[in-house]
């Protein structure tokens, strides 16, 4: 979550951006080979890189919420790593030194977005970049990259790709999860989740590029047979938006009834409030008689923090109830729920996984703490630091956290995440059978709750 403040006297939150950019950049930095960032730097470029490094060091020193974190050890790191930027002869080398400084913090929401991200037509940052993809979603199940959903009428769906299929290679390059780079701190509590996130994003970026381009993918189908598909990339799903200093992105929201009795809502990011918030409200308002509601936040990397308070207001009728508190260096800002004139009072299930981050964790964790929602799935990313996003002198983007976040139950979500009330993970076998067992578990609970209240 990235936060911009409005009136300084009141320190109110205007906006909050997500970890999605961090995940994309991480995939780029571990997966992009050759090309961009390799050209020798001019003296002017070297100077702008040094200025960028100094800006990073100064900004974190002045704005980090925990002054003990930016004490003597931090100052030593700032001094010792600066020569690496001064002596760097490529943009990649200079950026690596800046990232090394950031990594000493051991916290999420500190990242650098290469300038190329602002030049591409979208935020796809791998070799192809571009504005197209296959409109499929994948997760790591064990050591395999497995398709977990396929958008109807997408190129992949038309070609016969199905949930449960394993991705074995992309454009002739074998997908070997175990050999992918591991650059997180091994002692971080959420190390495994962040590593999984990077590897999923890395693989997804390999399946993106310019609209109309093709990608050769070798799958293993439900019968464990190798199937080769040449798939054309189509326009990424949803509405393309540009928010502040972040690269362009696409947002979407979907809503449907399950068996005519349970409302299911899913959206990919907490952005584009002029479209997402009304659509979310319409979904709730059309479901007063539903047995329950499911909000699917799996894969949702977060976004505008204030949206969590507005969405929670559809389910909480009491005044002055908080999702949690943002703690800056000199103030505390409460995430107070804004109740709607009419609220949904039925059972509420929220689905999460290791790619649920930032504002997703704020909404899920807060509603869990106040007893308003039951959480299903797997532990979230543990990346919920409010942060801001600025441009550096060298043209790169710089995301940095300026506060900690504590949920209403007193939990620091950073590094820990939200633990589901009901732990349930996807399996390849059930996906091949056409079932999403996380949704199934939530529906079963809602039906049981509806029966118990009769």
Range with top average pLDDT, 7-11, 57-61, 235-239: 57-61
pLDDT tens digits for 428-452? 999 999 999 999 999 999 999 988 8
Q: For the chain, what is the mean pLDDT?
A: 86
What was the pLDDT predicted at 389? 87
The domain limits of the chain are 2-119, 132-235, 239-384+404-452
In the predicted model, what is the mean pLDDT of residues 230-235? Answer: 93
pTM listed for this prediction: 0.86
Q: Which CATH architecture describes the domain 239-384+404-452? A: Alpha-Beta Complex (3.90)
Whether the CB-CB separation of 233 and 156 falls below 8 Å is answered with no
What was the pLDDT predicted at 120? 53
Decide if pLDDT at 265 tops 70: yes
More confident residue, 187 or 387: 387
Decide if pLDDT at 27 tops 50: no
Decide if pLDDT at 33 tops 50: no
The Cα–Cα gap between 107 and 399 comes to 12
Q: Taking the CA atoms of the chain, what radius of gyration do you get in angstroms?
A: 22
Here the tokens at position 335 are: 């995430």
Whether the CB-CB separation of 219 and 166 falls below 8 Å is answered with yes
Tell me what percent of the residues of the chain surpass a pLDDT of 90.
69
What was the pLDDT predicted at 242? 81
What was the pLDDT predicted at 365? 97
Tell me what percent of the residues of the chain surpass a pLDDT of 70.
85
The Cα–Cα gap between 113 and 136 comes to 25
The Cα–Cα gap between 284 and 256 comes to 11
Closest alpha carbon to 119 in 247, 250, 251, 234: 247
pLDDT tens digits for 302-344? 999 999 999 999 999 999 999 999 999 989 999 999 999 999 9
More confident residue, 125 or 3: 3
Whether the CB-CB separation of 273 and 429 falls below 8 Å is answered with no
What was the pLDDT predicted at 367? 98
Domain 132-235 indexed as CATH 2.30.42.10: yes
Query: Confidence band (pLDDT; 50, 70, 90) for 75?
Result: very high
More confident residue, 176 or 237: 237
Phi, psi for residue 219 in degrees, rounded to 5:
-105, 165
Q: What angle do CA 96, 99, 103 make, to 5 degrees?
A: 135
pLDDT tens digits for 359-393? 999 999 999 999 999 999 999 999 888 888 899 99
pLDDT tens digits for 96-137? 999 999 999 988 889 898 887 665 543 333 333 467 899 999
What was the pLDDT predicted at 175? 87
Decide if pLDDT at 91 tops 60: yes
């Amino acid at each position: 979550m990235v936060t911009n403040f409005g009136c300084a006297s009141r320190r109110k939150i205007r906006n909050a951006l997500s970890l999605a950019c961090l995940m994309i950049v991480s995939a780029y930095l571990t997966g992009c080979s050759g090309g961009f960032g390799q050209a020798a730097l001019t003296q002017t470029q070297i100077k702008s890189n040094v200025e960028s490094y100094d800006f990073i060091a100064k900004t974190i020193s002045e704005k980090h919420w925990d002054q003990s974190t930016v004490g003597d050890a931090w100052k030593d790191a700032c001094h010792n790593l600066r020569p690496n930027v001064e002596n760097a002869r490529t943009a990649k080398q200079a950026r690596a030194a800046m990232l090394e400084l950031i990594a000493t913090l051991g916290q999420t929401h500190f990242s650098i977005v290469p300038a190329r991200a602002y030049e591409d037509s979208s935020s796809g940052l791998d070799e192809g970049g571009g504005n197209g993809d296959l409109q499929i979603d994948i997760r790591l199940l064990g050591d395999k990259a497995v398709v977990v959903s396929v958008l109807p009428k997408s190129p992949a769906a038309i070609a016969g790709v199905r949930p449960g299929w394993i991705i074995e290679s992309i454009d002739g390059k074998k997908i070997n999860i175990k050999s992918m780079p591991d650059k997180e701190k091994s002692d971080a509590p959420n190390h495994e989740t962040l590593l999984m996130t990077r590897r999923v994003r890395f693989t997804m970026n390999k399946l993106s590029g310019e609209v109309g381009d093709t990608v050769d993918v070798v799958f293993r189908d439900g019968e464990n047979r190798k199937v080769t598909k040449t798939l054309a990339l189509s326009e990424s799903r949803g509405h393309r938006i540009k928010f502040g200093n972040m690269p362009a992105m696409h947002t979407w929201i979907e809503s449907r009834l399950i068996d005519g009795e349970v409302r299911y809502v899913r959206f990919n990011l907490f952005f584009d409030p002029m479209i997402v918030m009304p659509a979310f409200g319409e979904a709730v308002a059309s479901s007063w008689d539903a047995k329950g509601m499911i909000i699917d936040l799996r894969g949702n990397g977060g976004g505008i923090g204030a949206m969590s308070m507005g969405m929670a207001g559809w389910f909480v009728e009491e005044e002055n109830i908080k999702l949690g508190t943002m703690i800056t260096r000199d103030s505390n800002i409460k995430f107070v729920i804004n109740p709607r004139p009419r609220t949904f009072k039925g059972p509420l299930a929220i689905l999460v996984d290791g790619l649920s981050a930032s504002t997703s964790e704020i909404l899920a964790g807060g509603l869990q703490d106040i007893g308003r929602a039951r959480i299903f799935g797997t532990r979230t990313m543990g990346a919920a630091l409010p942060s801001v996003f600025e441009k550096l002198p060298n043209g790169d983007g710089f995301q940095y956290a300026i506060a900690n976040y504590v949920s209403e139950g007193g939990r620091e979500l950073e590094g820990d995440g939200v633990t589901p009330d009901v732990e349930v993970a996807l399996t390849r076998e059930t996906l091949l059978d056409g079932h999403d067992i996380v949704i199934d578990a939530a529906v079963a609970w809602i039906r049981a709750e509806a029966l118990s209240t009769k």
